[in-house]
Amino acid sequence: MRKTYLDEYKAKLITPEKAAQLVQSNYVVDYGMFATKPVDFDVALSKRAGDGLSNVSVRGTGTVLPVPEVIKNDTEQKTFQYFSWYFTAIDRAAGDFGLACHCPFNYHEATMMAYNDDFADCWPDVWCAQVAPMDKAGCFNFGLGNSHNRGMALKCKVAIVEVNENMPRCLGGSDEYVHISEIDYIIEGSNVPIFATPPSPAATPEERKIAEYIVEEIVDGSCIQLGIGALPNLIGNMIADSDLRDLGIQSEMFCDSMVRMYETGRVTNARKARDINKSTFSFSLGTKDTYDFLDDNPQCASSAVYTTNSPEDVARNDNVVSINNILEIDLFTQVCSESSGIRQISGTGGQLDFVVGAFHSKGGKSFLAFSSTYKDKEGNLQSRVKPLLTPGGIVTVPRTQVHYVVTEYGKVNMKARSIWGRAESLINIAHPDFRDELIKAAKEMKIWSRTNRISF
């Protein structure tokens, strides 16, 4: 007779309030990843502010709505400090008030740190994440946030799952579940709707031109990675409307436009090196339609982020095309994608992982894309191409790793170019209104010479 796990399930069932009592002063608590962030446990834990609990570190990854109560309810008591491995709008707002701090890392390293005993000092004392209901094998699926959840669940002192009947079941892949025997407690949550994003805004003319430059570089059989944001989604939709064939997907995030890529027959995953016939991803942030597509879909493989992001795994595929947004770039081609000066905007995430992996792929190309200008708070037009990065700006991609850079004014391959050649190439795709002052700055910094117009 098949074991039903019912008795074990009942024995491990606990209220959110009882679960919150397991947290002690000086503990580190991990809140799962992206849409797997717990809701009921968070509410219960926040109510312990001021009851003698102190110095509790709570870590999230890409915080989504609802805003964690441990942030909202602790402005006076100072019981909790919130940390995030990847900043979202919520994390940025909390960071502006000193209520959140960023944890920098390259995303593929998350799985390595979760399993490697050398990093035991970063393992959580308590881990809690939303999961799909237990299946007949006694497994709780991580749904939309695989990432490094399983590693954290196995290495913590106390592992708690918060069951949400609305969580899609995303098939593996790897590390997409935790078994009831591997956890300590079960919360039956209030089944709040899973966070979903609104549809992407309409593309600007600049974004459409950038997308055109990139899509023309994609060949049949390419393996696609799309980053977060409107531009990667636009590119995905343009791919869906193209006549490309046999595309594959290996991407940390499964985004909305990938559904259309399937619906129009662009994606088969037939030419991938691994997970053949499946799209490999580690988390999803998208609309409910995207979540419905992923639910119990054997065409997609939810995997630990090392599997999706490690440069060596990415490079095993031929013709990898990696597409990511950046915030600014300087004339040395140092790229900042995660901060505005010293203000943390997002995080390195998997950008560098895929920049490196795509370049090492046979026929692969990584594209760092951006509109050449933006308007500041006063409404003044500013260039994203700068002589030097904004003071305090974080280098997300070192100049040695930069491959293709794309604006609405063109694209350029920076590999094997001299410093002079890089400066000239970048100025040529900057907004025309800023090119003369960029040339002047390049001359002052001695990275422009009389031979520049014919330099390699």
pLDDT tens digits along 219-249: 999 999 998 888 989 999 999 999 999 999 9
pLDDT at position 78 is 81
At 363, list the tokens: 């026929």
How far apart are the two ends of the chain, measured CA to CA in Å? 72
- Please determine, for residue 451, whether its predicted confidence score (pLDDT) is greater than 90: no
Give the closest residue to 276 by CA, choosing from 240, 314, 248. 248
Q: What is the pLDDT of residues 124-149, one digit of tens each?
A: 999 999 999 999 999 999 999 999 99
pLDDT at position 1 is 39
Place of tokens 């991609």: 397
pLDDT at position 50 is 84
Q: What is the pLDDT of residues 262-289, one digit of tens each?
A: 999 999 999 999 999 999 999 999 999 9
Average pLDDT value over all residues in the chain: 95
User: Residue 411: how many CA atoms within 13 Å on its side-chain side?
Assistant: 20
List beta partners, residue 247.
Answer: 267
Q: What is the pLDDT of residues 26-47, one digit of tens each?
A: 999 999 999 999 999 999 999 9
Q: Where are the domains of the chain?
A: 11-188, 205-454
Q: Hey, do 11-188 and 205-454 end up sharing a CATH topology, with the first three levels equal?
A: yes
At residue 130, the 3 state secondary structure works out as: strand
Structural domain 11-188, CATH architecture:
3-Layer(aba) Sandwich (3.40)
- Please determine, for residue 87, whether its predicted confidence score (pLDDT) is greater than 50: yes
CATH 3.40.1080.20 fits 205-454, yes or no: yes
Predicted confidence band at 200 (pLDDT cuts at 50, 70, 90)?
confident
Q: What is the pLDDT of residues 395-420, one digit of tens each?
A: 999 999 999 999 999 999 999 999 99
Q: What is the pLDDT of residues 342-378, one digit of tens each?
A: 999 999 999 999 999 999 999 999 999 999 999 999 9
Vertex 322 angle, CA 209 and 259, to 5° = 80
352, amino acid identity: L
Report how far residue 336's alpha carbon sits from residue 326's, in angstroms, rounded to the nearest whole number.
6
Enzyme catalytic residues: 252
